[in-house]
Chains A and B, each alone.
Chain A
Amino acid sequence: MKKLLILSGKGGTGKTTLAGAFVRLGRVGAFADCDVDAPNLHLLYLDLPTPKTSDYYGMGVPEIDTSICNGCGICEAHCRFHAIEVQKGYAYCDSFACEGCGLCEYVCPQHAIKMKPNVAGRTMLFTSTKENVFGMEGEISNSNSNDAIIIMDNPVERSRVVFSSAELKMGSGTSGKLVSEVKKNLNDSADEKETLAIIDGSPGIGCPVIASITGMDMVLIVAEPSISGISDMQRLVDTAAFFGVRIAICVNKADTNPQRTEDVRIFADSHNIPFLACIPYDENVLVATNSGKSIVDLGGLAADAIKTIFSQVKEYVFMER
């Protein structure tokens, strides 16, 4: 099973829109939402089955036994996250500042501190034997454009469709670890006959993004034609390239700033990164999203471009390196 991850650097460039469209176009039976901080892909499916959920345990938080603690402050002195403070003679932990390293437990001479498991979110695994639950039945709307490509090839004779997702409790850290669990759930539960998995990523370049990149066959970067968008894209390319993963770039809302779209193309060319088709600004995208549909079901200029991009992506992701 090849894995395609969709990233952007800057938020709001259209990652989830593309992920949903690819799932629909390719009748993809294994997909995931790794944006555990602000998951949205599930909103495209109005009729989801009840998921199998599991509590996600973060790093654990210290539990301080005040009947033993003598307020010596050794824990406070060692904590580099300023999460422990001695107040009124006892150590007190700010669980939001705590990163769960467990050093306080180790250094406490009174053995008053025990690290306690801490629920920091939950994973959700949606499984169905029916493809239509994920909007995959029926014809994809054809649009007026002549060069639109309809991609509904080699349907897999699968036993189930799986969608792996998660939600991080607000204010929690360690989102990278939860991202790894989402990926693991997808891997473990996907039908072995699947050839392609689509993974929706998170914005930024830090911990959750790095956790999502490992093990991917390809990263598709959805860029935005603005000075900010280009700066963020360059930082993401730098990050993804470090992990040696294959990269391709497409531009969304390309016609809103043709000059900056050209800048993205020049950047891609100079870094030998495939520059895929450009998606025009299309009001249908918002209409589709707000009615729980994929843009390719509604059709239009953006849908046409996304179809082209999907056929290009498939070529790259299955290509031998």
Chain B
Amino acid sequence: MIVAVLSGKGGTGKTLVSVNLASVVEGDSIYVDCDVEEPNGHLYFRTEESDKNVETISRLYPVVDSSKCLLSQNKDACAKCVDFCRFNALARVGERVQVFDQVCHSCGGCYIVCPARAITEEARPIGHVYDYKVGNTRVLSGQMQTKQAFGIPIIAKILEMAKGSTLPTIIDCPPGSACTVMESIKDADFCIVVAEPSVFGAHNMKMVVQLLRLFEKPFAAILNKYVEGAENPSETLCEEENIEVLHRIPFDVQIAHYHSEARIAAEEEDRFKEMFESILKRITRRFGGEM
């Protein structure tokens, strides 16, 4: 069974919940880090770099051969590629066509529309996927290179790598509710929304809940940094929207400290291990699946 952990707002505790859940699974499990812009899961599951399988993920970018480009002969000749590109990734600069890789979506359109066959495509790396094991956990970590804009192909790749397996799988999603999140929850059987007790957290949670309902994903919430008796807009939202609360993780200086040191709390203290085991049990029961 595949469980996706998401939140809307950043910093509410997605990675805390994900790495700890993956760690307390009895037997083998898979942890998938889909937050490719800011991947952090690999900091918790540490091993020698040489023990990691690495694959480079590339994308195709257009390269314009100016000598073949009709513009070089006649400045009114043709700008079909520029006109075609809806992302404004190609522009006429004098008698040449310039490509702006940052905004290119690699659709391949310019290459097809060019009547002079002046455009070729070149694969260039945009990031890496790491596949390795720490204890019983297989870690799949997608990491986008800096200065790149689009991480979706990397997310697609790690999810594909996880797909063939029947092992319990925990997906650590990116923040927000945009395309990257959608891609990440695509194959999930169950989703967990991690929320913090602020109006910001509640507002973003609401957006994520809309997304999950649109895709008809079964889900429940975990209220993190929970303070008994204190105002909690996310808890109020759960009551109003009839969202099941799986667990309330108390605000705890010790758990925060382990987490800030990239240590898995469940592996540090039994009380945290028991807490995440009970969360896992509830998910399993809720879903009726094998975990």
Chain A interface residues toward B at CB < 8 A: 8-13, 16, 37-38, 40, 43, 59-60, 78, 80-81, 96, 99-103, 106-107, 168, 170-173, 175-176, 202-207, 209-210, 224-229, 231-232, 235, 238-239, 242, 256-257, 260, 286, 289-290, 292
Residue B15 at the A interface, CB < 8 A?
Answer: yes
Closest to B41 in A: A228
Check B11 against A13 for contact (C-beta < 8 Å). yes
CB pair A205–B38 under 8 Å, yes or no, is yes
Chain B residues near A238: list those with CB within 8 A. Answer: 146-147
Give the distance to chain B from A124, nearest Cβ to Cβ, in Å.
Answer: 14
B78 within 8 A of A: no
Name the residue of chain B whose CB is nearest to the CB of A214: B102
Interface stretch (choices B237-245, B256-264, B268-276): B256-264
Binds A, one of B20-28, B130-138, B206-214: B206-214
Q: Are A80 and B108 in contact (CB under 8 A)?
A: yes
Q: Which residues of B contact A289 (CB under 8 A)?
A: 198-200
- Known A40-B204, A101-B105, A171-B211; contact A11-B9, beta-carbon cutoff 8 A: yes
Q: Known A-B contacts: A204-B175, A209-B37, A227-B262. Give 6 more (CB < 8 A).
A: A9-B38, A10-B40, A40-B199, A80-B106, A170-B182, A228-B40
B18 close to A (CB within 8 Å): no
* CB <8 Å contact, A227 and B43: yes
- Assembly CA distance A149 to B176 (angstroms): 35
Known contacts: A173-B178, A173-B179, A257-B261. The answer to whether A203 contacts B38 by CB under 8 A is: yes
Are A286 and B40 interface neighbours, CB within 8 A? no
Partner of A40, one of B9, B152, B256: B9
Question: Are A290 and B178 closer than 8 Å at their CB atoms?
Answer: no
* Residues on the B chain within 8 Å of A102, using CB: 84, 86, 109
Q: Which residues of A contact B11 (CB under 8 A)?
A: 10-13, 203, 224
In the complex the two chains form, what is the Cα distance from A220 to B271 in whole Å? Answer: 39
A206 to B176, CA, bound (A): 13
Assess whether A59 is in contact with B260, with CB atoms less than 8 Å apart: no
Q: Do A107 and B38 touch (CB < 8 A)?
A: no
Bound-state CA distance A224–B231 (Å) is: 24
Q: Are A203 and B214 in contact, with the CB atoms below 8 A?
A: no
A171-B214, A202-B176, A204-B38 are contacts. A225–B260 as well, Cβ < 8 Å? yes
Asked if A37 meets B178 with Cβ closer than 8 Å, knowing A176-B149, A210-B149, A235-B146, the reply is: yes
A12–B197 Cα distance when bound, in Å, is 12
**Secondary structure dominating the interface of A:** loop
Which B residues are in CB contact (< 8 Å) with A40?
A: 9, 199-200, 203-204
Q: Report A201 CB to chain B, min CB distance, Å.
A: 11
Task: Give the one of B38, B146, B211 with max A CB within 10 A.
Answer: B38
Tally inter-chain residue pairs, CB-CB below 8 A. Answer: 176
Determine the distance from Cα of A176 to Cα of B30 in the docked complex, in whole angstroms: 32
The reply to whether B112 and A78 contact each other, CB–CB distance below 8 Å, is yes
Do the beta carbons of B199 and A228 come within 8 Å of each other? no
Considering the complex, which residues of chain B in the window 152-174 have a beta carbon less than 8 Å from any beta carbon of chain A? 152, 174
> Which residue on B lies nearest to A242, using beta carbons?
B147
Contact B210 A99 (CB under 8 A): no
A203 and B102 contacting across the interface, CB-CB below 8 Å: no
Closest A residue to B88 by CB, please name it: A177
Q: Are A171 and B10 in contact (CB under 8 A)?
A: no
List the B side residues contacting A99 at CB < 8 Å.
Answer: 105, 107
Nearest CB in chain B: distance from A7 CB, A: 11
B200 near A175 (CB under 8 angstroms)? no
Judge whether B210 and A256 touch: CB under 8 Å: no
Interface centre among A168, A224, A225 (most CB of B within 10 A): A168
Taking CB atoms, residues of chain B closer than 8 Å to A226 are 259-262
3 A-B pairs with least C-beta separation: A11-B10, A12-B11, A226-B260
Given that A40-B200, A101-B107 are contacting pairs, would A239 and B178 also be in contact in the complex, using a CB cutoff of 8 Å?
A: no
Q: Which residues of B lie under 8 Å from residue A171 when comparing CB positions?
A: 177-179, 181-182, 211, 214
Contact of A12 among B43, B174, B196 (CB under 8 A): B196
Instruction: Decide if A260 touches B87 in the complex (CB within 8 Å).
Output: no
- Enumerate chain B residues within 8 angstroms of A257, measured Cβ to Cβ: 257, 260-261
| Residues A205 and B9 in contact, CB atoms below 8 Å apart | no
13 A-B Cβ contacts within 8 A?
A: A10-B10, A12-B11, A13-B10, A37-B176, A38-B10, A171-B181, A206-B148, A206-B151, A226-B261, A227-B260, A228-B43, A235-B38, A289-B200
Q: Are B149 and A231 in contact, with the CB atoms below 8 A?
A: no
Residue numbers in A under 8 Å from B82 (CB-CB):
none
Q: How far is the CA of A150 from the CA of B179 in the complex (A)?
A: 42
Across the interface, do A170 and B210 meet the contact criterion of CB distance under 8 Å?
yes
Nearest-CB distance from A218 to chain B (Å)?
19
Q: Is the CB of B149 within 8 A of A38?
A: no
B244–chain A nearest beta-carbon distance, Å: 21
Give Cα A52–Cα B135 distance, bound, in whole angstroms: 55
Within the assembled complex, what's the spacing in Å between the Cα atoms of A107 and B207?
36
- Tell me whether A12 and B12 are in contact (CB under 8 A): yes
CB pair A106 B43 closer than 8 Å:
no
Residues of B contacting A229 in the complex (Cβ-Cβ under 8 angstroms)? 260
Let me know if B178 and A103 touch, CB within 8 A: no
Residues from chain B with Cβ under 8 Å of A205 in the complex: 37-38, 144, 146
